[in-house]
Every structure is written in C-alpha cells, then in structure tokens.
Chains A and B, each alone.
Chain A
Amino acid sequence: MLVGVGLGVGVVALVLTGCAADVEPPAPPAGVDLRSADPADGNGLWLRSGADVTAIVAEAVRAGGGVHVRGSITETVQPDPETEPEPGRTITLDFHGTAAAYTASVTAGDVAIEVVVSTDGTRLRGNAAFARENPGRDAGAVVCTTGLDSALAEWSPLLDPAALVSTLLPGAGVGATAPTADGDTIDVVAGEEGSVVGVLVVERFGAPLPRSYVAADGTGEAEFTFTGWGDPVDLEAAAEQLPCPAS
C-alpha cells in the first residue's frame, strides 16, 4: 500500500510540475574545458590542440588582411658523414599583401623572382636561373599574365600566408602553451612531445596572428617574421617597378 501511495505521490508531482519530455539539451563544445579557463587570460588558443590550432591560426591569418612576411629556410647538408653539417641552399621570402593581392620576391638557391599579383593579373620577372628552369621565359623580362601565372604554382605555399602557416604547423603534434602571467604572446609549438621542431609566436589577445616562427632540426632551419598585419600594400608602386613590355 505504501508503494502505491509513493507512486501516486510521484504521479501527482509529475503532473503538477508538468515534466513533459524536454528536448535534448545542447552539449558544451567537445574537447574544451571552459570551467577553469579565464577569458581575461587571452584568446583561448591554448584550449585547443592539434590540427584545430593550425586551422584557427590559418583562419586568423586569412582574415588578418595584408601582412609583411620575411624569412628564410636553409637546408642543412652533410655531404660526407665525417664532416660537420653545413648550410646548403636557402629559400628567402619577402612578401607583402594577402594571398590574393601581393608583391613578393623569392629566391631559392640561385633562382630569384619578383612578382606582383593583383586583380589586374600577374607580373613576374625572373633571373637567368629562372629562365633556364622555365622554358619560354627570358631572364630579366617581365611577363604579364591575366589571372595567375602558372609558373607561380611551384612556389606555393610561400605566396599564401595562411598556407605557409599551415605548412609550418603540420600534423597533430601541434599545441599552444598556456600564456604566462605577463607577455602578450602565445607559443604554438610544432613537433611531438620532447622533440620540439618549431615555435610559432602568435598574439595572445584577439586574433592569433603570427609574429614570428623559428624552427630547426636535422634537415635545416627556418625563421619567419610576420609584421604589419592589416596594413595596406601599395601594389601600384610595386607594379610600376615591373612594367609590362609594350605589346
């Protein structure tokens, strides 16, 4: 009898409270612990890990507007196991602008190009080594193309900051370290635990735009600096430096 009374009370309570079947409540974002995180500490990049970090930084770069990227990648060669490793060929990059409109000069080994890409098209000038590798091009001559010059394809991802960042932070071994008490940057570390390969320093507050990148391992070393986020780029002045040949 008591059980019946209990059931009755329960039914009455249910009816009174109107506990109909509710919709499934939304879940907090997966893989992020927000309870202990303080939004005053920064933009929260360190809450994520792996490919998420790379995607977030790349997205910030994409939305960050024009940027001035300078940097170099130097390979380390060891022709003879007996000798000390020595620096080999070097790629240097000087890039102004966005992935869609930029001016850049790139050298790779003895190949050097200067390029201006805008909505009007592509202007590209290469040196003698470039002309050797690309039949049909003349050394020192500016080639103007409507749209994108096909010779630029082999230079990606150097000429797209977001792709460059994605290349510098590969795989799942990427993690952002939580910021220390002061300082306005976050270190994004690429490489597995214990064998850090590269460190990308990004902004701690606001969009995680990169500031610099340093990497070194047995195959070479790389360093990039990212400055002037969002600054306008004077493409017209750059285009005047590469005048199209009179047709």
Chain B
Amino acid sequence: MSGYSTSSSALVIGIEPGRPRVGAAAERELGSGVEVLPEIVETRARQRPWWLHPAFVVSIILTFLTGAGALAFWIVSMVTDDSVKVSNLTIGAEAGNVTLRWDGPDAPYSLYQVSADGAVSDLTQLVRGTTASIFSAAGLFDDGSCFVVRPAVRTGEVSLDAATLQSQNGAGVCVSDAR
C-alpha cells in the first residue's frame, strides 16, 4: 500500500490534480457530428385576425341571441295579441252584394268562406278595413255558406266551431242569418 501512491511516477491517474481524466490521448467528442434532430426554429406567434378574436366572437353570439330573442318575443306578442278581436259581425246586403261588417281595431283581418260541405276558400282579398263586400254573382258562396272573420295573424284551422272562433278572436256568420 505504501508503494502505490508515492514511489512511482509511471502510474499516473489524472494529469492534473483534481481532474480525473484517463490518459492524455486525443480527446473524443461526444456525438457523431451528424445532426439527427431537426433544428428547432423559433416560430413567430401568428397574429389572430380581428374577427376571430374571442371577445369579438362572444360579442357576435350575444348580439345574435339578443336579436333572435327580440324577434321571437315580437312574434309571440303579435300572435297572442288579444287586443285585435272581431266582434259584432253582421251580414247584410248592399248594392246587391253581401256585406260583412264587424267591430275591431285597425288591423289586418282575414275572411274565409265555409261552404255547407265544409270546403273553405280564402276571400281575404275582399276585406277593406273592417268591412267586406262579397260579389253575389261570382260563385264565391251560396245560400248554405258561412263566413269566418278573424285577425290575419291567426293561422290555425278555419272552423265555425264556437270555441275555436273564440280562441282565435274571430267570429262567424252565415248567409242564412241575413234572411
């Protein structure tokens, strides 16, 4: 043990003290010198267009939702508008034609002819305000016909049934009532 560390200079470990390098041969580099992995290039952060900005998208969505909600509310309030109501529907003869008169606000109304066999025809084109004159000799109705007047916003089935008419704010009258 005593000859190991001090007596011989042939056995040298480390060239310099504190540097445990074996041998003094040519230093080998770590790695083969071939690039295996791709170079990592720093990419520039892409500028987002203004219309894809999250704040803008959210804002547009909210705008559409608000508009749709307002539209829906408007339609619902129109459909369920109880202020337009047909009342006091009367049938009479004027200038040889059948004239219907009714009470109601200034609103569009629709007029239907229901014949005795249940067939319905749309005579809305003859409505003028809250009156309608129906040509007597154009084959638009016969003695068994009835007429239904209701607000034009109603789109349900045309019926002379009293409950249906009431639920549609409409009214009905028959040609036979004029006699």
Q: Which residues of A are interface residues toward B (Cβ below 8 A)? A: 1, 5-6, 9-10, 12-13, 16-18, 22-23, 25-29, 32, 34-35, 37, 39-40, 42-45, 47-48, 52, 55-56, 60, 203-208
Question: Interface majority SS on B: helix, strand, loop or mixed?
Answer: mixed
What residues of chain A lie closer than 8 Å to B72, measured between beta carbons? Answer: 12-13, 16-17
Closest to A32 in B: B138
Q: Contact: B71 with A43, CB < 8 Å?
A: no
Q: Could you list 10 A-B pairs, sorted by A, with CB under 8 Å?
A: A17-B71, A28-B125, A34-B135, A39-B134, A40-B95, A42-B95, A43-B138, A45-B137, A60-B137, A206-B93
What residues of chain B lie closer than 8 Å to A47, measured between beta carbons? Answer: 135, 138
Docked pose: A212 CA to B155 CA in angstroms: 47
What residues of chain A lie closer than 8 Å to B57, measured between beta carbons? Answer: 1
Q: Contact: B121 with A18, CB < 8 Å?
A: no
Closest to A63 in B: B143
Q: Contact: B135 with A44, CB < 8 Å?
A: yes
Ranked nearest first, the 3 interchain pairs of A and B with the lowest CB-CB distance are A44-B135, A206-B96, A16-B72
Closest to A47 in B: B138
B interface size (C-beta, 8 A):
37
Of B124, B136, B138, B156, the residue contacting A48 (CB under 8 A) is B138
Closest to A38 in B: B133
Docked pose: A207 CA to B98 CA in angstroms: 11
Docked pose: A55 CA to B139 CA in angstroms: 9
Distance (whole angstroms) from the CB of B121 to the closest CB of chain A: 5
Q: Contact: A25 with B155, CB < 8 Å?
A: yes
What residues of chain A lie closer than 8 Å to B139, measured between beta carbons? Answer: 29, 32, 48, 52, 55-56
Q: Contact: B68 with A35, CB < 8 Å?
A: no
Closest to B120 in A: A26
Docked pose: A22 CA to B156 CA in angstroms: 7
Distance (whole angstroms) from the CB of A133 to the closest CB of chain B: 40
Q: From known contacts A16-B76, A43-B97, infer whether A27 and B135 are also in contact, taking CB-CB under 8 Å.
A: no
Of A6, A18, A39, the residue contacting B135 (CB under 8 A) is A39
Docked pose: A43 CA to B96 CA in angstroms: 6
Docked pose: A155 CA to B155 CA in angstroms: 54
Chain B 47-85 near chain A by CB (<8 Å), digits 1 or 0: 000000000010011001100110111011001000000
Q: Contact: B123 with A29, CB < 8 Å?
A: yes
What residues of chain B lie closer than 8 Å to A45, measured between beta carbons? Answer: 135, 137-138
Q: Contact: B123 with A28, CB < 8 Å?
A: yes
Docked pose: A40 CA to B133 CA in angstroms: 8
Of B61, B126, B155, the residue contacting A5 (CB under 8 A) is B61
Closest to A55 in B: B139
Docked pose: A13 CA to B75 CA in angstroms: 10
Docked pose: A109 CA to B123 CA in angstroms: 51
Is B91 at the interface (CB under 8 A from chain A)?
A: no
Q: Contact: B71 with A13, CB < 8 Å?
A: yes
Closest to A44 in B: B135
Distance (whole angstroms) from the CB of A204 to the closest CB of chain B: 8
Q: Contact: B156 with A5, CB < 8 Å?
A: no
Docked pose: A60 CA to B136 CA in angstroms: 10
Q: Contact: B123 with A42, CB < 8 Å?
A: no
Docked pose: A55 CA to B142 CA in angstroms: 12
Docked pose: A177 CA to B124 CA in angstroms: 25
Q: Contact: A39 with B126, CB < 8 Å?
A: yes
Closest to A33 in B: B125
Q: Contact: B137 with A207, CB < 8 Å?
A: yes
What residues of chain A lie closer than 8 Å to B69, measured between beta carbons? Answer: 12, 16
Chain B 113-149 near chain A by CB (<8 Å), digits 1 or 0: 0000000111111100000011111111000000000
Distance (whole angstroms) from the CB of A67 to the closest CB of chain B: 17
Distance (whole angstroms) from the CB of B91 to the closest CB of chain A: 14
